[in-house]
Structure 1
Amino acid sequence: MKKKNRVKNIILGILTVLVILIFSFPFLWMLLASFKTQAQIMSTEDVLLFKPTFDNYKSVFEQYDFLDFIVNSLVVAVVSTIGSLLLGLPAAYAIARYKMQKLSLVILVARIVPGITFLIPWYILFSKIGLVDTYTALILSHMLVGLPFIIWVMMSFFEGLPHEIEEAGLIDGATKSQVFLKIIMPISGPGVITSSLLSFIFSWNNFMFSIILAGDKTKTLPVAVFNFISYSETNWGALMAAACIITLPVLIIALVAQRYIVSGLAAGAVKG
């Protein structure tokens, strides 16, 4: 019996290593390519053994002004996430507590519908009121997807909290808003962290809205990376360096907050 279990563990370990290698290979190749010259990237020799260079990262920041794009992406992602939380948390709590099934269905439909469906009406609206190439247009467009996601994740979390917690607060003299802010929100930390992080990651990586609504002043990182590709040549070294810069914050967030993400997606830490 022990021998069979040992064989199963060995097979499981081998399969786990294979899965990790398969999924991590594109990132590792991207990381290695960011330290290569254009000729080294195109060559099939010495894939792993080469003399690294930092010229790609220097050109990204010096030649392409990548720091401005980082600031643009950071502003849009942070503000759109905060705005979605301010609107989405009370909405999710109200839907969960008062059983607004029809409204929850509308939120679900808004979550399922592809964002490209709203792109043309969104562009026409913003162009009419002169908001194209502004932070406002990008933030609102990102909230269009982030807000329904936060509401849908937090609805299931709030539904898992027992009503006795709120009743105890009301008996002690707290108002409903005080119960929500001082009792419900502190114990909903995993759900809030999960929804906000995933919303931030969506906004940070979003390309579709930015390619249409952003301009020279508000160009974000995904659009800036796209500019490395031209009809005549693709600057693969700078492209890989820029891709690593975009990926690094998301990777750090995933590693640091993975515990909260897993517990938050479990739809509530307290069950009634």
Structure 2
Amino acid sequence: MTRRKRTARLILGLLTFLVLLAFAFPFVWMLLASFKTQSQIMSTDQLLSFKPTLANYTSVFGEHDFLGYMINSLIVGVGSTAFALLLGLPAAYAIARYHLHRLGLVILVARIIPGITFLIPWFILFSQVKLVDTYTALILSHMLVGLPFIIWIMISFFEALPKEIEEAGLIDGCNRHQVFLRVILPISGPGMITASLLSFIFSWNNFMFSIILSGEKTKPLPVAVFNFMSYAEINWGALMAAACIITLPVLIIALLAQRYVVNGLAAGAVKG
């Protein structure tokens, strides 16, 4: 290896380390703060050297129904992702195969428009039909984010699949619907996993719709974090512990499905 290549690799490694440090520092600070008392968090002298405590996690699960909030978030996340897949996969396949690019553009515009634009109409509509503080309202509102995202990921994925596969299915006697269900979907696993995972993460972290449309029965995790914030004080330790709990399930899922996410994004980015 030449000296120039070694220098270039060293510079690249250094830049990569700096980027990772910038992204990782907030998460490391959050994790450390979750094991500190309020005074330790406020003290700059105890940034790394401190006596850890589990009092914050005890407060989160002992004084609040955090397990119930996790179940609410799970129901809404899985429900919105499942219904978005049910509607989004056929829509993405139709747009990809019949070149309905104008329809795809309309869906993209719906995704670009800020979600707060739909918030008041959603609230008025759900109030009229008595659906505020129900899983139905949260699932439908979260689909507003997940459905366009799934469609746009799967459009590029379906366009990358060779048409010869579908033609072989048609020759064997399948109609278009059977080709989609029996041929296309079974080989679309990486794309579906990628779209599902990202849609679930968006739903899991969604705060704006949840703060308005949820109540005590359906309060999800992002809204429950407000329990640790008051007018006079913010309980930083419990807040950081709650943030770690919110982040952990998504982090585990992302690590386990990392290979499928990479394959899905790569497959959707290359047209063959």
Q: TM-score, normalised by structure 1?
A: 0.96
**What does the per-residue CA deviation read over 1:120-175, in whole Å, with 9 as the maximum and x for residues that have no partner?**
00000000110000000000000111111111111111111111101101111122
Q: How does 1:118-129 map to 2 (within 5 A)?
A: 118-129=118-129
Q: How does 1:161-180 map to 2 (within 5 A)?
A: 161-180=161-180
**Of 258-267 and 117-126, the range deviating more from structure 2:** 258-267
Contact 1:162 1:270 in 2 (8 A): no
- Structure 1 residue 60 and structure 2 residue 60: aligned? yes
Contact 1:92 1:154 in 2 (8 A): yes
Distance 1:198 1:271 in 2: 22
Q: Could you say which residue in structure 2 is the equivalent of 1:155?
A: 155
Q: Could you say which residue in structure 2 is the equivalent of 1:18?
A: 18
Q: Could you say which residue in structure 1 is the equivalent of 2:220?
A: 220
Amino acid at match of 1:135: Y
Q: How does 1:44-193 map to 2 (within 5 A)?
A: 44-193=44-193
Distance 1:270 1:144 in 2: 27
Q: Could you say which residue in structure 2 is the equivalent of 1:3?
A: 3
Amino acid at match of 2:90: P
- Structure 1 residue 237 and structure 2 residue 242: aligned? no
What is the SS of the residue equivalent to 1:232?
coil
Q: How does 1:203-214 map to 2 (within 5 A)?
A: 203-214=203-214
What is the aligned length? 272
Q: Could you say which residue in structure 2 is the equivalent of 1:195?
A: 195
State percent identity of aligned pairs: 75
**Of 193-202 and 182-191, the range deviating more from structure 2:** 182-191
What is the SS of the residue equivalent to 1:35?
coil
Contact 1:36 1:53 in 2 (8 A): yes
Tell me by how many angstroms 1:82 deviates.
0.4
Tell me by how many angstroms 1:38 deviates.
0.9
Contact 2:156 2:269 in 1 (8 A): no
Distance 1:22 1:271 in 2: 34
Q: TM-score, normalised by structure 2?
A: 0.96
Q: Give the gaps of 5 or more residues in structure 2.
A: none
Distance 1:60 1:174 in 2: 55
**What does the per-residue CA deviation read over 1:70-125, in whole Å, with 9 as the maximum and x for residues that have no partner?**
00000000010000001100111011111112211211111111111100000000
Amino acid at match of 1:84: A
Distance 1:256 1:173 in 2: 38
Amino acid at match of 1:8: A
Distance 2:18 2:109 in 1: 37
Distance 2:271 2:123 in 1: 44
**Of 4-13 and 230-239, the range deviating more from structure 2:** 4-13
Q: Could you say which residue in structure 2 is the equivalent of 1:30?
A: 30
Distance 1:183 1:97 in 2: 14
Tell me by how many angstroms 1:269 deviates.
8.1
Amino acid at match of 2:143: M
Distance 1:41 1:102 in 2: 53
Contact 1:89 1:151 in 2 (8 A): yes
Q: Give the gaps of 5 or more residues in structure 1.
A: none
RMSD: 1.3
Contact 2:153 2:268 in 1 (8 A): no
